Chain A
Amino acid sequence: MLNGIGDFLSSGSSWMFFIFALLAIGGAIFMISFTKVIHMVISLALTFISLGGLYVILEAEFVAFVQVLIYAGAISILMIFGIMMTKHRQGEEEEPRRPWHEGLAIVGSLALFGVIFYAIQKTKFVATGAFDAGKDNTMEIGKLLYNEHVIPFEIMSVLLTVAFIGAIIIAKREED
């Protein structure tokens, strides 16, 4: 990666990638390091939005808008609802630290990152064909969804309905 960094920084989309990647990693790191839960959710919303920007760079406009609508909108608000419905004692955040646990988690995450990074660097990715996004990304995705992938699509909608009804029934207060 270090060899091609000059070429990488020479075009505009690479700069946009750099900015969005910085925002995404920054949001994730802030999510880890903040202590108040609301701040964590807001900083992770920043990560979600910048990932949407990355999707625009990758010519996936429909996925980008879905990302902003569902992740930055729905899931963040759902998490904030979850925080509001459960009480959080702010003062007791700094109770017994578990140094072994956290240290092992850091070591494990870094080891996983090392393995993935090594594999990415070792692999030669060849682009055989040019990407054809079509004139209208949303229309192409719609055609694919309703022709080739129509059965997974319908199964997905059934699954979503079942999951939401189940969520409502689980969270419903049992009065009697």
Chain B
Amino acid sequence: MGSIVTPYLTLAAILFCVGLYGALTKKNGVIVLLSIELMLNAVNLNLVAFSKLGDHPALTGQIFSLFNITIAAAEAAVGIAILITIYRNKGTSDVNEMDSMKR
């Protein structure tokens, strides 16, 4: 029962799960942000694939993926800024040591 859109969805699922694993296990804050970017990219791949091969093919999927890329860029910039500030104040970029709200 393979459709032509199935490989794209499977690839996106693989990338999303790899990104999820990276975001859950990595200790470096920059790498956690990178893994989140990977997950966002997997979602974008789904959007573009459905925009061509989906039920109602239209350009709207590509527009939505462009919006998604913009949000991802803003998120990366703010995330890096927060990481730099935390590093300046606490001297670490390890996400396990950023637990001052837990103690």
**Chain A contact residues, CB within 8 Å of chain B:** 1-5, 8, 17, 21, 24-25, 28-29, 31-32, 37, 40-41, 44, 47-48, 51, 54-55, 58-60, 62-63, 66-67, 70-71, 74-75, 78-79, 81-83, 85-88, 101-102, 105-106, 108-110, 112-113, 116-117, 120-121, 124-134, 140-141, 144-145, 149, 152, 156, 159-160, 163-164, 166-168, 170-171, 173
Contact = CB atoms under 8 A, between A and B. Distances in A.
A105 B37 CA distance: 18
A132 B57 contact: yes
A127 B4 CA distance: 9
How big is the B interface, by class?
Answer: 35 or more
A152 B72 CA distance: 16
Contacts of A32: 18, 21-22
Contact of B28 (A37, A55, A106, A116): A37
5 contacts: A1-B10, A32-B18, A79-B33, A83-B30, A86-B30
Contact of A109 (B17, B65, B83): B17
Dominant secondary structure at the A interface: helix
Contact of B80 (A25, A81, A113): A81
B76 A171 contact: no
A62 B21 CA distance: 30
Contacts of A74: 73
